[in-house]
Amino acid sequence: QVRLVESGGGLVQAGGSLRLSCAASTVTFDFYTMGWFRQAPGKEREFVAVISWNGGITLYADSVKGRFTVSRDNKKNTEYLQMNSLKPEDTAVYYCAADYYRGTRLKWLPRDYKSWGQGTQVTVSS
């Protein structure tokens, strides 16, 4: 497992932007597929985005496609989630997750990820 620490959450008005970061404590960061998930109060944890080990493949949930962008910097052992045009329904705790996998068949179910961060709160006001 790898230790993950998210940052960058906060309160923003609808239409605004936030950039989340996820710092990984591992020297083998480029062996991991990295994902973003979120969980709103009373709801299941849901998939947001995933990026392959080299950044060559990205997948998004339909609800964020065209508004969110996932990226990574393997030299800095960090994954990012740029969130634009935020909506109140984006309000949730956002988690990054790591999957020790270098393939092309990226996973989007929470149960497939072994390492998780502690989460960062994102609140979008209307």
Give pLDDT tens digits for 35-71.
999 999 999 999 999 999 999 999 999 999 999 999 9
| Distance linking the first and last C-alpha atoms of the chain | 38
pLDDT score of 1: 84
Q: Report the b/e string of 25-50 with b at 16+ CB within 10 A.
A: ebeebeebbbbbbbeeeeeebebbbb
- Give the Cβ contact number of residue 114 at 10 Å: 12
Q: Characterise 19 by phi-psi region: left (phi > 0), alpha (psi -120 to 50), beta (else).
A: beta
Per-residue pLDDT, averaged over 6-15, amounts to: 98
